[in-house]
Amino acid sequence: MAVSNPDRLKADIDALVPELIVLRRDLHEHPELAFEEVRTSGMVAQRLRSLGLEVQMNVAKTGVIGLLRGGASQPGAKTIAIRADIDALPIHELNEIDYRSQVDGKMHACGHDGHTAIALAVTAVLSKRRAELNGNVKFLFQPAEERLSGAKPMVEEGAMEGVDGILGLHLISTYPLGRVGVRAGTVFASADRFVFTVHGKGGHAAEPDKAVDPIVIAAHMITALQTLISRETSPFSPAVVTIGLVHAGTAFNIIPETAVLQGTLRAFSQEHRAKLLRRMQALTSGLASAMGGSCEVELFDGCPPCTNDAAMTAVVHKAAVASVGEQAVDSGEDIMRTASDDMAYFLNAAPGCYFVVGAHNKEKGGAYPHHHPRFTIDEDALRVGVEVLTRAALEFLG
């Protein structure tokens, strides 16, 4: 297998790098938002077809699936899936680069242009080895990750049928170039958006005794919600509750009828997530009724945590060590993210591993975070991603 011939693999990838960068820059110049990725998916499909893959378009609206059938498949051969997200963000790019976004108000500010280019490069490298592949490789180009709404419908439409393992990566702009982070267990948190609407009784600001003040109730809620983390959560189980929006009132001298709080919950296990959601509802409803009002709770955009399978993680770890060396592979807690990613739905459908690839180069300037208008990646990270994914897929198929 190619794994036993690593120098040829490195040489193949090196030969692809110039094209890989051209491709990534083209995607960067033409960002498309969730479920609008028409140009992107058209380009992806055309490339997959040109390599002889079986292509399925319009999966979950703008997703694309490419199937590479191995030429040396024995009975019972496995199928490995490789997932890349393809969408951009509603952000106006502030980088002064010659391949700057050509679409005002839209930008690849999370590196998904890189993910798409990496996966396409992997299709090229593996296609070349098609005759020796014992098994299949299924490439999943997923729309609408930024809205956490593209992966779930792809799974529902059968994208994971017949898949024995799933791999994916995220480039990280604040993690040093040349490093790969791979870890078993949960690596990206769950995410739930919540809206609490507190109902009181409006009135004159000078006569609070004749009203039920929803602002005071909301203020107690904001403080009490933090005790779910500080008093009800094990210090060994990370979780976050943030209220990011408070809205109430129309004038300084009026007690309003309602107050609205919105925020997000992040947790690292399904059980912890469920418990916190349950307790949040009980706490806010109980507090509101104890103070003479009521609270309506709405939950949106829920996404489970991304949890890596131990055996799949071992496969990726081996591939990462072969690609960047043992000292450049991190497995500690510092690679965990409280951000969430709907890769979770693929990981729940088959054992898999989602890993991170460093894309920050100190010499090349500031490390802006993801979703920032000056977000950049060092393009040298692309070849690292290609190599780790390719090696891991070959190792898995054996």
| Residues identified as active-site | 87, 145
In sequence order, the 6+-apart residues with CB closer than 8 A to the CB of 264 are: 191, 192, 193, 194, 240, 241, 242, 244
Q: Please name which of 48, 69, 71, 73 lies closest in space to residue 59, comparing C-alpha atoms.
A: 48
Per DSSP, 333 falls in state G
Site track for Zn ion across 248-287, x = CB under 5 A? ----------------------------------------
- The neighbour count for residue 219, using CB atoms within 10 Å, is 16
Nearer Cβ to Zn ion (33/110): 110
Burial class (CB in 10 A: 0-12, 13-18, 19+), 231: exposed
Instruction: For the CB of residue 85, give the shortest distance to Zn ion in the complex, in Å.
Output: 6
Question: Among 35-43, 105-113, 238-246, 268-276, which window interacts with Zn ion (CB under 5 A)?
Answer: 105-113
Residue 105 has a CB neighbour count (10 Å cut-off) of 12
For residue 297, give the 3-state DSSP assignment: strand
Pick 110 or 349: Cβ nearer Zn ion: 110
Give me the least distance between CB of 109 and Zn ion, in Å please. Answer: 7
Among the listed ranges 102-110, 345-353, 357-365, 384-392, the one in contact with Zn ion (CB under 5 A) is 102-110
Smallest separation, CB 76 to Zn ion (Å): 35
Tell me how crowded residue 298 is: count the other CB atoms within 10 A of its CB.
10
Select the span of 58-66, 109-117, 200-208, 257-265 touching Zn ion (CB under 5 A): 109-117
Shortest distance in whole angstroms from residue 145 CB to Zn ion: 6
Q: Give DSSP secondary structure letters for 156-210.
A: HTTTTTT--EEEEEEEEEEEETT-EE--SEEEE--EEEEEEEEE-B-EETT-GGG
Residues in the interface with Zn ion (CB under 5 A) total: 1
Taking each helix axis as running N to C, give the angle between helix 6-29 and helix 112-128, from 0 to 180 degrees, rounded to the nearest 10.
140
- Count the neighbouring beta carbons within 10 Å of the beta carbon of residue 395: 18
Which residue in the block uniquely carries the two structure tokens 């979770």? 344
If one asks whether residue 86 binds Zn ion (CB under 5 A), the answer comes out as no
Task: Report which residue's Cβ sits closest to Zn ion.
Answer: 110
- Choice between 200 and 305, CB closer to Zn ion: 305
Could you say which residues in the range 300-359 bind Zn ion, by CB under 5 A? none
**Smaller CB separation from Zn ion, 89 or 319:** 89
Residue among 47 and 372 whose Cβ is closer to Zn ion: 372
110, 144, 320, 347: which one binds Zn ion (CB under 5 A) = 110
In the complex, the residues that contact Zn ion under the rule CB under 5 A are: 110
